[in-house]
Amino acid sequence: MHDPAAPRPMIARAPARPLLGEARVPGDKSISHRALMFGALAVGTTEITGLLEGEDVLRTAAAMRALGAQVENLGGGRWRVAGRGIGGLVEPADVLDMGNSGTAARLLCGLLAGHPIFAVMTGDASLRKRPMRRVTEPLSATGARFATREGGRLPLAVEGAVDPLPLDYRVPVPSAQVKSALLLAGLCARGITRVVEPEATRDHTENMLRHFGAEVSVAPEGRGRVVELIGQPELVAAPVVVPGDPSSAAFPAVAATLVPGSEVVLRGVGMNKLRAGMFATLAEMGADITRIGERVEGGEKVADLRVRAAALRGIEVPAERAPSMIDEYPILAVAAAAASGTTRMRGLKELRVKESDRLSATAALLVANGVRVEVEGDDLVVHGAGGMPAGGGSVVTHMDHRIAMSALVLGLASRAPVRVDDAAFIETSFPGFASLLNGMVGNGGPGGPIGAA
């Protein structure tokens, strides 16, 4: 595990050759978290293939072990989870440390709320700054009790409900994490848990609930949806194939788009329509991305993506697209920096409560590298260079892996190298990020375009 006291500065420069070849990006982080959690709640043994083995997901695996599930790493992304059944988790002997993962922490709040056990959760310095009230307040209606630091922040103590009540809750701001936490709590409650979301967010939880045998209904309501779950089902172990993470695939896709002469194929990327907003946006900007061999694996749509270098143009990205690409705005901003014209990204309020104030951090990343940017309310406006941005800046990552990766991709497409103060946290979501991109330019070793500063 990374020692936050030992930062790992890195630098990226324009490669001498284009990006070529094919690669498989790490498994989808959202699905990996959920596969481990649902495996722990199921009866029987769940076999998982393609699990993301980044630090965030390993924290979830450790938490499931601490709660009584048998979790075994078989190697090569293959894992086995022997579950305890709904309501069968046991009280952990020690504090649950969720590292840098807000997804794991918020989902775990829901999972713990439905079990009559006491637990304490913490995280690293970044996660301890992030608000948990958005999940603890609605979850308190189940009968669970939460105690947090001021501002609803970690460390957090939870005393789960002995006889949890079902919830009927309208989510005020689109959030798959909040929705998922409420549904996890609803698994242990008698009756129907009902969650109304104002805009449709990623539906991996609903897909996986059905995959494990729960009864879930989804109905449209305006731009959003109403999700209903019948409580206290018997979840039955089922194999899970984790597709490549579309959020991770966005980084090599943008790199290949911006580095002249590049052509890469990214294998087995998840194409869930509620996660594919980034690729729709890149296509509108003129990117050359082709889906090959579209298929369904484990209830999720998957395709291989062929990406060729292309000139981009600025566009307006509507606010309603944000839930389908909320994690991709920093790397989209890098693409916009090299585009011709202005790109306006609307409705990015949710970015202010990510690992960092990601909206401000994204703007600062670009400004440090000679790109003209404005933040207007919750909108980000990027004035593209119509080619290679100036670069040459040093970026403060604020312990945010997506800011670090976005800055390094910008370095590949800039006239001068780009430095980041700490790239260690990239391993939380994209193990082997630098070596994958270096390998695409024919140099996977320390002499590649991305290396230690």
User: Active-site residues: which are they?
Assistant: 327
| Strand, helix or coil for residue 46 | strand
156: β partners: 121, 148
Contact indicator for 86, 232 with CB cutoff of 8 Å: yes
Phi and psi at residue 363, to the nearest 5°: -60, -45
* Nearest to 201, CA basis, from 275, 299, 282: 275
Distance CA 148, CA 373 (A): 37
* Nearest to 333, CA basis, from 296, 272, 285, 269: 285
Distance CA 369, CA 12 (A): 13
Angle of helix 176-186 relative to helix 204-211, nearest 10 degrees? 30
Distance CA 263, CA 7 (A): 33
Residue with tokens 């039955």: 236
Distance CA 18, CA 53 (A): 29
How is residue 245 annotated by DSSP? P
| Strand, helix or coil for residue 332 | helix
Measured CA to CA in angstroms, residue 423 lies from 25, 128, 138, 451 at distances of 18, 19, 35, 10
**Measured in whole angstroms, how far is the alpha carbon of residue 369 from the centre of its chain?**
26
Phi and psi at residue 112, to the nearest 5°: -75, -30
